Amino acid sequence: MVRKVINALVFAFLWAVGVQICCGQNISRSSFPKGFVFGTASSAYQYEGAVKEDGRGPTIWDTFAHTFGRVIDFSNADIANGQYHLYPGDVELMKDMGMDAYRFSIAWSRIYPNGDGEINQAGVDHYNNLINALLAKGIEPYVTLYHWDLPQSLHDRYTGWLHPRSIKDFAKYAETCFKEFGDRVKNWISFNEPHNLAMQGYGSGTQAPGRCSTLLHAFCRAGNSATEPYIVTHNVLLAHATIVDIYRKTYKPKQNGSIGIVLNSIWYEPATNSKDDIEATQRAMDFELGWIIEPLIQGDYPSSMRTRVGSRLPKFSEAESTRLRGSFDFIGINHYTTWYATANKIDSTTRVLLNKSLSDSGAVTLPVAIGKPIADRANSLWLYMVPHGIRSLMKYIKQKYGNPLVIITENGMDDGNHPLVPVKYTLKDKKRIKYHNDYLANLLAAIKFGLYYVDYNNKLKRYAKDSVRWFKEFLGFIVKFMRINV
């Protein structure tokens, strides 16, 4: 669903995953390692609006959101939060809260309206203005090059990420961004959540471009859920490695920036202590986090995926494996919740009929086991508040993947969007304050979204929720502490 609230995401650097985590609920600046950064984050399609202004071309999300039956509440992001025009005020809000950084995505179709061809200078000018506004307030930009909004023309021309040509076109777009903005942008992210991009866009069909072949999804007009998620992910990984190589060889020596990729991962725990459930839990991790991170660490997909997916899982050449290994300066992790995992007892024939790619892991993952929820739920049906999960996930990454540099790029909980509820009650978000405090206490790093309420009936006016005051006090304490200890 296209969110209709300001999804301000607070993210933080975990410069060393192995730092000692504080165990109590009362946290202070002294608990945090040096280099810790707080920031907010967004994505172009969810925030900017102005979808037909200044030469921006249509994207697969524009098409998807305007297709009947795709979005439950029939909303779209034509206006969104209006940040394309209102960004100066939003930068002031970030500064007022004491934030150090802002993660945002560039809309590919604002730079190249048709995906390639001539550069749209108006798009370049907009992001130059945004970057300069951030830097003028002492806020560091963190730029995501692809947050799911593929130019529609590339999908129409050759089915987008399903075709290897997407690698070349993405490389051209990325290099343009390095040239235009790299003198000021020192933190680049190639892709946001390749796993969700592939599984929801090409497996279940629940997100753009809405391709699938499952019998459970009646709206997919084309697709193959058994193969397309794997093909898309393969091309995305190769596109990532390609632009990292370009950046490191041509731009990093002069610009002195860093580049990474953002992965999503729920933390999974076995529903029971049975051997089957424990093994299913590991496969669940392999088919979500391992699917993307292992090629970047080891040059190939997890062995459990090779075994269970077989010939449907593409293979890397020796040169591709070499280029993939180590193709990151940091790994971004988007983590929101923890679920249970249990062994899937459905026979293989039935799994094919339901959705092959969604059941290949042989694990059933749900936030409920034996009728009992894993924890208290936020607004979203999938989001349960399990603070220890992020701590467990970071420990898992450290131990299994050699302690790579990790940035927590997203974390938080959402509010309901109830138009009949008075604004003064909407601003009371005690549950979010507790969520944020508890996750910080478990990992010394967290993100939160929904800090500001947006009044869509009053020129998109921003209203601060109680958690904004909490953050201002919290970050103000940090600033005072740092001054005292300089």
Active-site residues: which are they?
Answer: 193, 410
For residue 52, what are the CA distances in angstroms to 28, 59, 110, 113, 123? 46, 11, 10, 10, 12
Q: Letter for the amino acid at 427?
A: L
First to last CA, the chain: 46
Looking at residue 387, what DSSP letter applies? T
416: helix, strand or coil: coil
**Integer Cα distance of 307 and 85 in angstroms:** 50
Residue 123, SS3 per DSSP? helix
Cα angle vertex 89, ends 88, 95, to 5°? 95
Peptide bond into 209 cis (omega under 30): yes
Query: Residue 51 to residues 77, 109, 264, 432: CA-CA distances in angstroms?
Result: 8, 10, 27, 31
Q: Are 417 and 5 in contact (CB under 8 A)?
A: yes
Residue type, 164: P
The three-state secondary structure class of 125 is helix
| Tokens encoding 304 | 């459990």
Burial of 27 (0-12, 13-18, 19+ CB in 10 A): middle
Closest to 412 measured CA to CA, from 444, 389, 436, 387: 436
